Structure 1
Amino acid sequence: MTIAARRSYESLSQAAERTGISTKTLRRRIADGALTAYRCGRLIRLDPDDVDRILVKVPNGR
């Protein structure tokens, strides 16, 4: 696997800081099935692309 093809993951706190969404909201999205999380022991990791997909563009109404 090349470095370019390597998948990257982020923690809940990293995803929250990057997007401005609280960790509590991210945990709710995981619980309701809107966001896939990956667990390794006690650590929870998120795919940044999956996190970005839960953000929905709002039409400007013009």
Structure 2
Amino acid sequence: MAVHIRPDTRGLRLTSLADAAEQLGISIKTLRRRISDGTVHGYRVGRLIRVDPDELRERLLTEIPSAK
């Protein structure tokens, strides 16, 4: 029997993949890949998949160090 552990989602502000992809300038397919490989968490709400935009910024955006 599979045991499903529900994450603590209190305080999360979830958004659709389309909105999140548009905000970051990436494709929905890229977001789905990142959810699949475990880089970010996806949350199923009924049939829809939602993501936390704050987590996306934290995990996907990285600063490029300057050469100075």
**What's the TM-score once normalised by structure 1's chain length?**
0.83
Specify the alignment match of 2:66 in structure 1.
60
**Aligned pairs, how many?**
58
RMSD: 1.5
Gaps of 5+ in 2: 1-9
- Written as runs of structure 1 = structure 2, the 5 A alignment for 1:41-56 is 41-53=46-58, 54-56=60-62
Q: After the TM superposition, list the runs of 4 or more consecutive aligned residues in structure 1 that deviate by more than 2 angstroms.
A: none
Report SS of the residue matched to 1:26. helix
| 1:4-48 alpha-carbon deviations (Å, 9 max, x no partner) | x84311100000111101111111000000010100121001011
Specify the alignment match of 1:24 in structure 2.
29
- What is the percent sequence identity of the aligned residues? 50
**What's the TM-score once normalised by structure 2's chain length?**
0.76
